[in-house]
Amino acid sequence: MTRRWTITSLLLLLIYVCSRSANAQTQIPEQTNTIDLEAALPEPRAYIPDSQYLDFVYHNHEELTRFLRATSARYPNLTALYSIGKSIQGRELWVLVVSSSPYEHMLGKPDVKYVGNIHGNEPVGRELLLHLIQYLVSSYETDQYVKWLLDNTRIHIMPSMNPDGYAVSKEGTCDGGQGRYNARGFDLNRNFPDYFKQNNKRGQPETDAVKDWISKIQFVLSGSLHGGALVASYPYDNTPNARRLKGICRSSALCAMFQTYSAAPSLTPDDDVFKHLSLVYAKNHAKMSRGVACKSATPAFENGITNGAAWYPLTGGMQDYQYVWYGCMEVTLEISCCKYPPAYELRKYWEDNQLSMIKFLAEAHRGVQGFVFDNNNNPIERASLKIKGRDVGFQTTKHGEFWRILLPGYYKLEVFAEGFAPREIEFVVVEQHPTLLNVTLTPSKRTEGSLPISQLYRPVPGPPPHLYRPPTPGYSGDSGLFSSITSGLNNLYSNLFG
Ligand SMILES: *[C@@H]1O[C@H](CO)[C@@H](O)[C@H](O)[C@H]1NC(C)=O
Ligand SMILES: *[C@@H]1O[C@H](CO)[C@@H](O)[C@H](O)[C@H]1NC(C)=O
Ligand SMILES: [Zn+2]
Protein backbone atom coordinates (compact mmCIF):
# COMPACT_ATOMS: atom_id res chain seq x y z
CA MET A 1 0.00 0.00 0.00
CA THR A 2 2.71 2.42 1.04
CA ARG A 3 4.98 1.50 -1.83
CA ARG A 4 2.20 1.84 -4.38
CA TRP A 5 1.46 5.28 -3.08
CA THR A 6 5.08 6.29 -3.15
CA ILE A 7 5.36 5.33 -6.80
CA THR A 8 2.10 7.06 -7.62
CA SER A 9 3.19 10.21 -5.88
CA LEU A 10 6.52 10.22 -7.69
CA LEU A 11 4.66 9.88 -10.96
CA LEU A 12 2.33 12.68 -10.01
CA LEU A 13 5.20 14.88 -9.04
CA LEU A 14 6.96 14.22 -12.33
CA ILE A 15 3.87 14.98 -14.37
CA TYR A 16 3.19 18.02 -12.29
CA VAL A 17 6.69 19.40 -12.72
CA CYS A 18 6.56 18.83 -16.48
CA SER A 19 3.12 20.34 -16.90
CA ARG A 20 4.03 23.30 -14.75
CA SER A 21 7.03 24.31 -16.70
CA ALA A 22 4.90 24.15 -19.83
CA ASN A 23 1.74 25.76 -18.54
CA ALA A 24 2.39 27.77 -15.45
CA GLN A 25 0.20 30.80 -15.40
CA THR A 26 -0.18 33.30 -12.71
CA GLN A 27 -2.88 35.83 -12.43
CA ILE A 28 -4.27 37.95 -9.68
CA PRO A 29 -8.00 37.97 -10.30
CA GLU A 30 -10.31 40.76 -9.41
CA GLN A 31 -12.01 40.07 -6.16
CA THR A 32 -15.50 41.21 -5.48
CA ASN A 33 -17.79 40.43 -2.64
CA THR A 34 -21.44 39.75 -2.36
CA ILE A 35 -21.49 38.07 1.02
CA ASP A 36 -22.61 39.95 4.09
CA LEU A 37 -19.82 40.65 6.46
CA GLU A 38 -20.04 38.50 9.52
CA ALA A 39 -17.74 40.90 11.31
CA ALA A 40 -20.31 43.68 10.99
CA LEU A 41 -23.01 41.71 12.76
CA PRO A 42 -23.89 41.88 16.43
CA GLU A 43 -23.08 38.79 18.49
CA PRO A 44 -25.80 36.14 18.50
CA ARG A 45 -28.23 36.55 21.33
CA ALA A 46 -28.59 34.10 24.14
CA TYR A 47 -31.18 31.40 23.73
CA ILE A 48 -34.24 31.46 25.86
CA PRO A 49 -35.19 27.83 26.36
CA ASP A 50 -38.85 27.07 25.96
CA SER A 51 -39.72 23.89 27.81
CA GLN A 52 -42.96 23.67 25.88
CA TYR A 53 -40.91 22.45 22.92
CA LEU A 54 -37.72 21.13 24.44
CA ASP A 55 -36.68 20.52 28.02
CA PHE A 56 -33.22 20.05 29.42
CA VAL A 57 -33.62 16.30 29.82
CA TYR A 58 -32.23 13.33 27.91
CA HIS A 59 -34.38 12.19 25.02
CA ASN A 60 -34.50 8.55 24.03
CA HIS A 61 -34.66 7.62 20.37
CA GLU A 62 -38.46 7.86 20.12
CA GLU A 63 -38.53 11.24 21.88
CA LEU A 64 -35.67 12.51 19.75
CA THR A 65 -37.49 11.38 16.62
CA ARG A 66 -40.68 13.08 17.79
CA PHE A 67 -38.85 16.36 18.43
CA LEU A 68 -37.18 16.33 15.01
CA ARG A 69 -40.45 15.51 13.22
CA ALA A 70 -42.36 18.17 15.12
CA THR A 71 -39.68 20.78 14.45
CA SER A 72 -39.56 20.04 10.74
CA ALA A 73 -43.35 20.29 10.63
CA ARG A 74 -43.35 23.57 12.57
CA TYR A 75 -40.56 25.18 10.53
CA PRO A 76 -41.00 23.89 6.96
CA ASN A 77 -39.14 26.87 5.51
CA LEU A 78 -36.12 26.48 7.74
CA THR A 79 -35.68 22.75 8.24
CA ALA A 80 -35.62 19.46 6.38
CA LEU A 81 -35.43 16.07 8.07
CA TYR A 82 -33.72 13.10 6.46
CA SER A 83 -32.16 9.84 7.50
CA ILE A 84 -28.81 8.65 6.16
CA GLY A 85 -29.52 5.03 7.06
CA LYS A 86 -30.20 2.80 10.01
CA SER A 87 -28.24 1.54 12.97
CA ILE A 88 -27.76 -2.21 13.42
CA GLN A 89 -30.88 -2.37 15.57
CA GLY A 90 -32.87 -0.44 13.00
CA ARG A 91 -32.89 3.06 14.47
CA GLU A 92 -32.87 5.87 11.91
CA LEU A 93 -29.71 7.96 11.71
CA TRP A 94 -31.49 11.28 11.58
CA VAL A 95 -30.12 14.50 10.16
CA LEU A 96 -31.98 17.79 10.37
CA VAL A 97 -30.87 20.55 8.00
CA VAL A 98 -31.36 24.04 9.32
CA SER A 99 -31.05 26.75 6.68
CA SER A 100 -33.13 29.27 4.78
CA SER A 101 -32.72 26.77 1.93
CA PRO A 102 -33.28 23.49 3.73
CA TYR A 103 -34.16 21.36 0.71
CA GLU A 104 -31.66 22.61 -1.79
CA HIS A 105 -27.97 23.29 -1.77
CA MET A 106 -27.32 27.03 -2.16
CA LEU A 107 -25.00 27.48 -5.11
CA GLY A 108 -21.60 28.70 -3.92
CA LYS A 109 -22.52 28.54 -0.24
CA PRO A 110 -21.06 26.04 2.19
CA ASP A 111 -22.70 23.02 3.79
CA VAL A 112 -21.49 22.32 7.33
CA LYS A 113 -22.40 19.74 9.97
CA TYR A 114 -22.35 18.59 13.52
CA VAL A 115 -22.33 14.91 14.48
CA GLY A 116 -23.17 13.96 18.04
CA ASN A 117 -23.06 10.78 20.09
CA ILE A 118 -20.70 8.71 17.89
CA HIS A 119 -19.84 7.21 21.25
CA GLY A 120 -23.22 6.14 22.58
CA ASN A 121 -22.34 6.84 26.21
CA GLU A 122 -21.34 10.46 25.48
CA PRO A 123 -24.76 12.05 24.98
CA VAL A 124 -24.28 15.68 26.08
CA GLY A 125 -23.64 16.63 22.45
CA ARG A 126 -26.75 14.74 21.41
CA GLU A 127 -28.90 16.92 23.67
CA LEU A 128 -27.03 20.16 22.90
CA LEU A 129 -27.65 19.59 19.21
CA LEU A 130 -31.38 19.40 19.84
CA HIS A 131 -31.16 22.71 21.67
CA LEU A 132 -29.03 24.15 18.88
CA ILE A 133 -31.80 23.25 16.44
CA GLN A 134 -34.40 24.86 18.67
CA TYR A 135 -32.20 27.93 19.11
CA LEU A 136 -31.60 28.39 15.38
CA VAL A 137 -35.21 27.99 14.25
CA SER A 138 -36.58 30.21 17.00
CA SER A 139 -33.98 32.96 16.47
CA TYR A 140 -34.07 33.27 12.69
CA GLU A 141 -36.61 36.07 12.65
CA THR A 142 -35.20 37.99 15.59
CA ASP A 143 -31.45 37.54 15.56
CA GLN A 144 -29.40 39.12 12.76
CA TYR A 145 -26.45 36.81 13.29
CA VAL A 146 -28.55 33.66 13.12
CA LYS A 147 -30.36 35.00 10.08
CA TRP A 148 -27.05 35.71 8.35
CA LEU A 149 -25.79 32.23 9.22
CA LEU A 150 -28.90 30.41 7.97
CA ASP A 151 -29.14 32.58 4.85
CA ASN A 152 -25.57 31.72 3.89
CA THR A 153 -25.02 28.21 5.23
CA ARG A 154 -26.75 24.85 5.28
CA ILE A 155 -26.27 23.34 8.70
CA HIS A 156 -26.75 19.56 8.85
CA ILE A 157 -27.25 18.34 12.39
CA MET A 158 -27.00 14.66 13.31
CA PRO A 159 -27.78 14.39 17.03
CA SER A 160 -26.85 10.71 17.25
CA MET A 161 -24.58 8.59 15.10
CA ASN A 162 -24.82 5.73 17.59
CA PRO A 163 -28.40 5.44 18.85
CA ASP A 164 -27.95 1.75 19.74
CA GLY A 165 -25.03 2.52 22.02
CA TYR A 166 -27.01 5.32 23.63
CA ALA A 167 -29.88 2.93 24.35
CA VAL A 168 -27.67 0.83 26.66
CA SER A 169 -25.84 3.73 28.34
CA LYS A 170 -26.55 4.84 31.90
CA GLU A 171 -27.18 8.39 33.03
CA GLY A 172 -24.73 9.47 35.71
CA THR A 173 -21.91 7.22 34.44
CA CYS A 174 -18.88 9.45 34.00
CA ASP A 175 -16.32 6.86 32.87
CA GLY A 176 -16.25 3.43 31.36
CA GLY A 177 -17.23 1.85 28.10
CA GLN A 178 -20.81 0.62 28.38
CA GLY A 179 -22.70 2.06 25.41
CA ARG A 180 -19.60 3.49 23.80
CA TYR A 181 -19.72 0.94 20.97
CA ASN A 182 -22.37 0.10 18.40
CA ALA A 183 -24.59 -2.96 18.86
CA ARG A 184 -21.86 -5.24 17.46
CA GLY A 185 -19.24 -3.88 19.82
CA PHE A 186 -17.38 -1.67 17.34
CA ASP A 187 -15.99 1.72 18.26
CA LEU A 188 -17.34 3.87 15.42
CA ASN A 189 -14.57 6.40 15.85
CA ARG A 190 -12.03 3.65 15.03
CA ASN A 191 -14.02 2.34 12.07
CA PHE A 192 -13.06 4.66 9.19
CA PRO A 193 -10.37 4.08 6.57
CA ASP A 194 -7.11 5.43 7.91
CA TYR A 195 -4.59 7.58 6.16
CA PHE A 196 -1.55 6.28 8.01
CA LYS A 197 -2.32 2.66 8.68
CA GLN A 198 -4.35 -0.16 7.28
CA ASN A 199 -7.57 -0.32 9.28
CA ASN A 200 -8.77 -3.92 9.29
CA LYS A 201 -11.94 -3.30 11.28
CA ARG A 202 -15.04 -4.38 9.41
CA GLY A 203 -17.08 -1.38 8.24
CA GLN A 204 -20.21 -0.94 10.34
CA PRO A 205 -23.62 0.21 9.03
CA GLU A 206 -23.39 3.49 10.97
CA THR A 207 -19.93 4.23 9.58
CA ASP A 208 -20.89 3.17 6.07
CA ALA A 209 -23.90 5.49 6.21
CA VAL A 210 -21.70 8.41 7.20
CA LYS A 211 -19.15 7.58 4.50
CA ASP A 212 -21.90 7.54 1.91
CA TRP A 213 -23.36 10.79 3.26
CA ILE A 214 -20.11 12.75 3.10
CA SER A 215 -19.36 11.40 -0.36
CA LYS A 216 -22.58 13.02 -1.59
CA ILE A 217 -22.43 16.39 0.14
CA GLN A 218 -19.27 18.46 0.12
CA PHE A 219 -19.06 19.53 3.75
CA VAL A 220 -16.64 22.35 4.36
CA LEU A 221 -16.53 22.26 8.15
CA SER A 222 -17.66 19.81 10.81
CA GLY A 223 -17.69 19.24 14.54
CA SER A 224 -17.92 15.83 16.18
CA LEU A 225 -19.18 16.05 19.74
CA HIS A 226 -17.79 13.83 22.49
CA GLY A 227 -17.59 13.67 26.28
CA GLY A 228 -15.06 12.56 28.84
CA ALA A 229 -12.74 15.56 28.51
CA LEU A 230 -12.88 19.30 27.89
CA VAL A 231 -10.84 20.10 24.81
CA ALA A 232 -11.03 20.76 21.07
CA SER A 233 -8.86 18.12 19.40
CA TYR A 234 -7.80 18.50 15.79
CA PRO A 235 -6.24 16.26 13.10
CA TYR A 236 -4.30 14.23 12.67
CA ASP A 237 -5.49 11.70 15.22
CA ASN A 238 -3.11 9.13 13.84
CA THR A 239 0.58 9.34 13.27
CA PRO A 240 3.21 7.69 11.13
CA ASN A 241 5.51 7.57 14.16
CA ALA A 242 3.71 5.31 16.60
CA ARG A 243 6.61 2.86 16.57
CA ARG A 244 9.21 5.56 16.91
CA LEU A 245 10.43 4.47 20.32
CA LYS A 246 10.49 0.77 19.65
CA GLY A 247 14.24 0.50 19.27
CA ILE A 248 14.91 2.41 22.44
CA CYS A 249 12.13 0.98 24.48
CA ARG A 250 12.21 -2.71 23.64
CA SER A 251 8.83 -4.00 24.65
CA SER A 252 8.18 -3.19 28.25
CA ALA A 253 4.71 -2.10 29.20
CA LEU A 254 6.22 0.80 31.07
CA CYS A 255 7.77 2.02 27.87
CA ALA A 256 4.49 1.73 26.03
CA MET A 257 2.92 3.78 28.77
CA PHE A 258 5.68 6.33 28.45
CA GLN A 259 5.11 6.51 24.73
CA THR A 260 1.41 7.03 25.17
CA TYR A 261 2.04 9.87 27.57
CA SER A 262 4.70 11.47 25.43
CA ALA A 263 2.88 10.99 22.13
CA ALA A 264 4.25 13.27 19.42
CA PRO A 265 2.01 15.69 17.54
CA SER A 266 0.98 14.64 14.04
CA LEU A 267 0.32 17.87 12.23
CA THR A 268 -1.58 18.50 9.01
CA PRO A 269 -0.39 21.01 6.40
CA ASP A 270 -3.41 23.08 7.54
CA ASP A 271 -2.27 23.13 11.15
CA ASP A 272 -2.70 26.91 11.43
CA VAL A 273 -6.31 26.57 10.30
CA PHE A 274 -7.09 23.64 12.60
CA LYS A 275 -5.56 25.42 15.59
CA HIS A 276 -7.61 28.48 14.76
CA LEU A 277 -10.86 26.51 14.40
CA SER A 278 -10.20 24.76 17.70
CA LEU A 279 -9.45 28.06 19.41
CA VAL A 280 -12.68 29.58 18.08
CA TYR A 281 -14.55 26.82 19.86
CA ALA A 282 -12.45 26.92 23.04
CA LYS A 283 -12.42 30.70 23.42
CA ASN A 284 -16.15 31.12 22.91
CA HIS A 285 -16.78 28.40 25.47
CA ALA A 286 -17.35 29.41 29.08
CA LYS A 287 -14.28 27.57 30.32
CA MET A 288 -12.62 25.29 27.77
CA SER A 289 -9.80 27.70 26.93
CA ARG A 290 -8.70 27.87 30.57
CA GLY A 291 -7.27 24.40 29.98
CA VAL A 292 -7.98 23.08 33.44
CA ALA A 293 -7.60 19.29 33.79
CA CYS A 294 -10.84 17.39 34.36
CA LYS A 295 -9.22 15.35 37.12
CA SER A 296 -5.79 15.39 38.68
CA ALA A 297 -4.76 12.29 36.71
CA THR A 298 -5.82 13.65 33.31
CA PRO A 299 -3.95 16.08 31.09
CA ALA A 300 -4.46 19.85 31.09
CA PHE A 301 -4.57 21.32 27.59
CA GLU A 302 -3.02 24.69 26.91
CA ASN A 303 -5.79 27.03 25.71
CA GLY A 304 -8.18 24.07 25.69
CA ILE A 305 -6.96 22.67 22.39
CA THR A 306 -4.73 19.78 21.34
CA ASN A 307 -3.52 17.91 18.34
CA GLY A 308 -5.28 14.54 18.37
CA ALA A 309 -2.16 12.37 18.11
CA ALA A 310 -0.32 14.46 20.68
CA TRP A 311 -3.07 13.52 23.13
CA TYR A 312 -3.16 9.87 22.12
CA PRO A 313 -2.88 8.41 18.61
CA LEU A 314 -5.75 6.36 17.24
CA THR A 315 -6.44 4.53 14.00
CA GLY A 316 -9.69 4.77 12.04
CA GLY A 317 -10.99 8.06 13.46
CA MET A 318 -13.64 10.09 11.67
CA GLN A 319 -11.88 13.45 11.53
CA ASP A 320 -8.74 12.32 9.71
CA TYR A 321 -10.90 10.53 7.15
CA GLN A 322 -13.05 13.58 6.40
CA TYR A 323 -10.09 15.84 6.00
CA VAL A 324 -7.87 13.56 3.93
CA TRP A 325 -10.55 12.01 1.72
CA TYR A 326 -12.96 14.92 1.31
CA GLY A 327 -11.22 18.09 2.40
CA CYS A 328 -13.79 18.63 5.16
CA MET A 329 -12.19 20.18 8.21
CA GLU A 330 -13.51 18.39 11.24
CA VAL A 331 -12.61 19.01 14.87
CA THR A 332 -13.39 16.63 17.74
CA LEU A 333 -15.11 18.60 20.46
CA GLU A 334 -14.88 17.07 23.92
CA ILE A 335 -17.47 19.04 25.84
CA SER A 336 -17.97 17.36 29.22
CA CYS A 337 -15.57 15.88 31.76
CA CYS A 338 -18.28 13.41 32.72
CA LYS A 339 -19.37 11.30 29.77
CA TYR A 340 -23.02 10.99 30.79
CA PRO A 341 -23.73 13.61 33.47
CA PRO A 342 -27.09 13.84 35.22
CA ALA A 343 -29.78 15.64 33.25
CA TYR A 344 -30.01 18.55 35.67
CA GLU A 345 -26.55 19.66 34.46
CA LEU A 346 -27.62 19.92 30.80
CA ARG A 347 -28.75 23.52 31.04
CA LYS A 348 -25.30 24.49 32.28
CA TYR A 349 -23.65 22.61 29.42
CA TRP A 350 -25.83 24.43 26.95
CA GLU A 351 -24.91 27.81 28.46
CA ASP A 352 -21.21 26.92 28.33
CA ASN A 353 -21.34 25.81 24.68
CA GLN A 354 -23.98 27.86 22.90
CA LEU A 355 -21.79 30.65 21.58
CA SER A 356 -19.03 28.21 20.59
CA MET A 357 -21.40 26.04 18.61
CA ILE A 358 -22.54 28.97 16.50
CA LYS A 359 -19.24 30.80 16.08
CA PHE A 360 -17.50 27.59 15.05
CA LEU A 361 -19.90 27.04 12.15
CA ALA A 362 -19.47 30.61 10.95
CA GLU A 363 -15.80 29.82 10.28
CA ALA A 364 -16.93 28.10 7.08
CA HIS A 365 -17.07 31.66 5.69
CA ARG A 366 -13.36 32.25 6.04
CA GLY A 367 -10.77 31.66 3.32
CA VAL A 368 -11.27 31.16 -0.38
CA GLN A 369 -14.25 29.92 -2.37
CA GLY A 370 -15.32 29.92 -5.98
CA PHE A 371 -15.98 27.93 -9.11
CA VAL A 372 -13.96 26.17 -11.77
CA PHE A 373 -15.33 26.61 -15.29
CA ASP A 374 -14.32 25.66 -18.79
CA ASN A 375 -14.09 28.18 -21.65
CA ASN A 376 -17.84 27.98 -22.21
CA ASN A 377 -18.65 28.73 -18.59
CA ASN A 378 -19.65 25.16 -17.85
CA PRO A 379 -18.70 23.97 -14.38
CA ILE A 380 -15.92 21.40 -14.14
CA GLU A 381 -16.71 18.65 -11.67
CA ARG A 382 -13.96 16.90 -9.70
CA ALA A 383 -11.24 19.28 -10.68
CA SER A 384 -8.39 18.61 -8.27
CA LEU A 385 -7.30 21.58 -6.21
CA LYS A 386 -4.52 22.22 -3.79
CA ILE A 387 -3.26 25.23 -1.91
CA LYS A 388 0.42 25.35 -2.77
CA GLY A 389 2.53 24.11 0.10
CA ARG A 390 -0.43 22.32 1.72
CA ASP A 391 -0.25 18.83 0.37
CA VAL A 392 -3.75 17.65 1.10
CA GLY A 393 -5.94 18.20 -1.94
CA PHE A 394 -9.64 18.75 -2.43
CA GLN A 395 -12.07 18.67 -5.36
CA THR A 396 -14.81 20.68 -6.98
CA THR A 397 -18.47 19.71 -6.67
CA LYS A 398 -20.70 18.89 -9.62
CA HIS A 399 -21.45 22.61 -9.85
CA GLY A 400 -17.73 23.32 -10.06
CA GLU A 401 -17.69 24.83 -6.57
CA PHE A 402 -14.88 24.73 -4.06
CA TRP A 403 -14.21 26.12 -0.60
CA ARG A 404 -11.10 26.14 1.57
CA ILE A 405 -10.80 27.67 5.00
CA LEU A 406 -7.61 29.73 5.23
CA LEU A 407 -6.27 32.41 7.56
CA PRO A 408 -5.38 35.85 6.17
CA GLY A 409 -2.35 35.68 3.90
CA TYR A 410 -1.03 35.26 0.42
CA TYR A 411 -1.59 31.90 -1.30
CA LYS A 412 -1.43 30.05 -4.59
CA LEU A 413 -4.17 27.73 -5.76
CA GLU A 414 -3.18 24.85 -8.04
CA VAL A 415 -5.95 23.54 -10.30
CA PHE A 416 -5.87 20.37 -12.36
CA ALA A 417 -8.60 18.72 -14.42
CA GLU A 418 -8.50 16.03 -17.03
CA GLY A 419 -8.24 17.44 -20.53
CA PHE A 420 -7.36 20.95 -19.34
CA ALA A 421 -4.13 22.79 -18.90
CA PRO A 422 -3.24 23.03 -15.21
CA ARG A 423 -3.26 26.46 -13.65
CA GLU A 424 -1.74 28.17 -10.70
CA ILE A 425 -3.51 31.26 -9.38
CA GLU A 426 -2.35 33.67 -6.72
CA PHE A 427 -4.82 35.17 -4.31
CA VAL A 428 -5.06 36.98 -1.03
CA VAL A 429 -7.20 36.07 1.97
CA VAL A 430 -8.29 38.82 4.32
CA GLU A 431 -9.87 38.68 7.74
CA GLN A 432 -13.16 40.41 6.96
CA HIS A 433 -14.69 38.23 4.24
CA PRO A 434 -14.03 35.19 2.09
CA THR A 435 -12.11 35.66 -1.14
CA LEU A 436 -14.22 34.81 -4.18
CA LEU A 437 -12.17 33.21 -6.92
CA ASN A 438 -13.48 31.90 -10.22
CA VAL A 439 -11.08 29.86 -12.32
CA THR A 440 -11.41 29.20 -16.04
CA LEU A 441 -9.48 26.29 -17.49
CA THR A 442 -8.57 25.98 -21.14
CA PRO A 443 -8.37 22.60 -22.89
CA SER A 444 -4.89 21.12 -22.95
CA LYS A 445 -3.19 20.37 -26.23
CA ARG A 446 -2.94 16.63 -26.06
CA THR A 447 0.47 15.27 -26.77
CA GLU A 448 1.25 11.76 -27.85
CA GLY A 449 1.80 9.46 -24.91
CA SER A 450 0.58 11.72 -22.13
CA LEU A 451 -1.49 10.07 -19.43
CA PRO A 452 -4.98 11.36 -18.78
CA ILE A 453 -5.05 12.79 -15.30
CA SER A 454 -8.08 10.67 -14.38
CA GLN A 455 -5.91 7.57 -14.38
CA LEU A 456 -3.88 9.07 -11.63
CA TYR A 457 -6.45 10.99 -9.65
CA ARG A 458 -8.88 8.26 -8.83
CA PRO A 459 -12.30 9.57 -7.98
CA VAL A 460 -13.64 9.09 -4.48
CA PRO A 461 -14.52 6.71 -2.89
CA GLY A 462 -11.15 5.09 -3.02
CA PRO A 463 -7.78 6.44 -2.11
CA PRO A 464 -7.75 10.03 -0.94
CA PRO A 465 -8.02 12.61 -3.70
CA HIS A 466 -4.51 13.80 -3.14
CA LEU A 467 -2.47 15.50 -5.70
CA TYR A 468 0.62 14.59 -3.79
CA ARG A 469 1.32 12.30 -0.95
CA PRO A 470 2.95 14.04 2.01
CA PRO A 471 6.31 12.57 3.04
CA THR A 472 5.93 8.83 3.29
CA PRO A 473 5.24 7.74 6.83
CA GLY A 474 8.18 5.83 8.23
CA TYR A 475 6.52 2.61 9.22
CA SER A 476 5.63 -0.67 7.64
CA GLY A 477 2.56 -2.30 9.00
CA ASP A 478 1.35 -2.32 12.55
CA SER A 479 1.96 -5.62 14.25
CA GLY A 480 3.97 -7.02 17.10
CA LEU A 481 3.84 -7.03 20.83
CA PHE A 482 4.77 -3.42 21.29
CA SER A 483 2.03 -1.98 19.15
CA SER A 484 -0.58 -4.30 20.59
CA ILE A 485 0.36 -3.14 24.08
CA THR A 486 0.25 0.42 22.86
CA SER A 487 -3.11 0.03 21.22
CA GLY A 488 -4.42 -1.78 24.29
CA LEU A 489 -3.34 1.16 26.38
CA ASN A 490 -4.75 3.58 23.87
CA ASN A 491 -8.09 1.85 24.12
CA LEU A 492 -7.95 2.02 27.87
CA TYR A 493 -6.88 5.61 27.64
CA SER A 494 -9.62 6.61 25.27
CA ASN A 495 -12.21 4.80 27.36
CA LEU A 496 -11.14 6.90 30.27
CA PHE A 497 -10.74 10.21 28.57
CA GLY A 498 -12.23 10.37 25.12
C1 LIG B 1 -42.87 29.66 4.11
O2 LIG B 1 -42.55 30.49 3.02
C3 LIG B 1 -43.67 30.78 2.19
C4 LIG B 1 -43.19 31.53 0.97
O5 LIG B 1 -42.28 32.53 1.34
C6 LIG B 1 -44.71 31.57 2.98
O7 LIG B 1 -45.83 31.85 2.19
C8 LIG B 1 -45.14 30.73 4.17
O9 LIG B 1 -46.01 31.46 4.99
C10 LIG B 1 -43.93 30.29 4.99
N11 LIG B 1 -44.36 29.33 5.99
C12 LIG B 1 -44.03 29.41 7.28
C13 LIG B 1 -44.58 28.33 8.17
O14 LIG B 1 -43.32 30.30 7.72
C1 LIG C 1 -18.17 33.42 -10.06
O2 LIG C 1 -19.11 32.56 -10.68
C3 LIG C 1 -20.37 32.52 -10.04
C4 LIG C 1 -21.22 31.44 -10.67
O5 LIG C 1 -21.39 31.67 -12.02
C6 LIG C 1 -21.01 33.90 -10.13
O7 LIG C 1 -22.26 33.90 -9.49
C8 LIG C 1 -20.08 34.91 -9.45
O9 LIG C 1 -20.58 36.20 -9.60
C10 LIG C 1 -18.68 34.85 -10.03
N11 LIG C 1 -17.81 35.65 -9.19
C12 LIG C 1 -16.86 36.43 -9.66
C13 LIG C 1 -16.05 37.17 -8.67
O14 LIG C 1 -16.67 36.55 -10.85
ZN1 LIG D 1 -15.85 9.95 22.50
Among 72, 96, 112, 99, CA closest to 359: 112
User: How many helices (DSSP H) and strands (DSSP E) are in the chain?
Assistant: 13, 15
Give the H or E element holding residue 135. helix 124-139
Measure 218 CA to ligand 1 centroid, in angstroms.
28
Contact predicate 36/365, CB 8 Å: no
| Ligand with smallest separation from the Cα of 340 | 3
pLDDT string in tens for the chain (498-residue length):
344 444 445 444 444 433 333 333 333 443 444 445 566 788 888 887 787 889 999 999 999 999 999 999 999 999 999 999 999 999 999 999 999 999 999 999 999 999 999 999 999 999 999 999 999 999 999 999 999 999 999 999 999 999 999 999 999 999 999 999 999 999 999 999 999 999 999 999 999 999 999 999 999 999 999 999 999 999 999 998 755 444 444 445 555 555 555 679 999 999 999 999 999 999 999 999 999 999 988 899 999 999 999 999 999 999 999 999 999 999 999 999 999 999 999 999 999 999 999 999 999 999 999 999 999 999 999 999 999 999 999 999 999 999 999 999 999 999 999 999 999 999 999 999 999 999 999 999 765 444 444 433 333 333 444 433 333 333 333 333 333 333 444 444 444 444
33 lines ligand 1 (CB under 6 A): no
Q: Which of 13, 25, 163 lies closest to 444, judged by CA?
A: 25
Q: What is the pTM of this model?
A: 0.83
Answer yes or no: is the C-beta of 76 below 6 A from any ligand 1 atom: yes
Of 365, 450, 446, 382, the C-alpha closest to 416 is 382
* Top mutation candidate among 436, 437, 440, 441 for ligand 2, by most atoms within 8 Å of CB: 436
Distance 122 CA to ligand 3 centre (A): 6
Angle at alpha carbon of residue 353, lines to 336 and 79, rounded to 5°: 115
Domain ranges of the chain: 61-242+253-365, 368-440
Predicted pLDDT at 489: 40
Dihedral pair phi/psi, residue 443, rounded to 5°: -55, 145
98 in Cβ contact with 133 (< 8 Å): yes
Q: Look at residue 49 in the predicted model and tell me its pLDDT.
A: 79
Give the residue from 423, 193, 197 showing the smallest Cα distance to 313.
Answer: 197
N- to C-terminal Cα separation, the chain: 30
Three-state DSSP class for 9?
Answer: helix
Q: Which amino acid is at 461?
A: P
Domain 368-440: which topology?
Immunoglobulin-like (2.60.40)
φ/ψ of 146, rounded to 5, equals: -65, -40
Q: Are 326 and 219 in contact (CB under 8 A)?
A: yes
Closest ligand to residue 102's CA: 1
- Tell me which residue has its CA closest to atom 12 in ligand 1: 77
Is the minimum distance from the CB of 77 to ligand 1 under 6 angstroms? yes
From the CA of 438, give the closest atom in ligand 2: 1
Among 77, 100, 101, 141, say which to mutate for ligand 1: greatest number of ligand atoms within 8 Å of CB.
77
Q: What is 61-242+253-365's CATH topology?
A: Aminopeptidase (3.40.630)
Q: Which ligand 1 atom minimizes the distance to the CA of 77? A: 1
- Which among 439, 321, 452 is positioned nearest to 385, based on CA atoms? 439
- The per-residue DSSP string of 68-90 comes to HHHHHHH-TTTEEEEEEEE-TTS
Q: Going by DSSP bridges, is the β-strand pair 401-404/79-86 parallel, antiparallel, or unpaired?
A: unpaired
Which residues are catalytically annotated? 334
CA 392 to ligand 2 centroid distance, Å: 25
What pLDDT, on a 0 to 100 scale, did the predictor assign at position 52? 83
Q: In testing the pocket of ligand 2, which one of 106, 438, 439, 441 has its CB within 8 Å of the most ligand atoms?
A: 438
Q: Among 123, 190, 155, 191, which residue's Cα sits nearest to residue 339?
A: 123
Q: For residues 95 and 109, give the distance between their C-alpha atoms in angstroms, rounded to a whole number.
A: 19
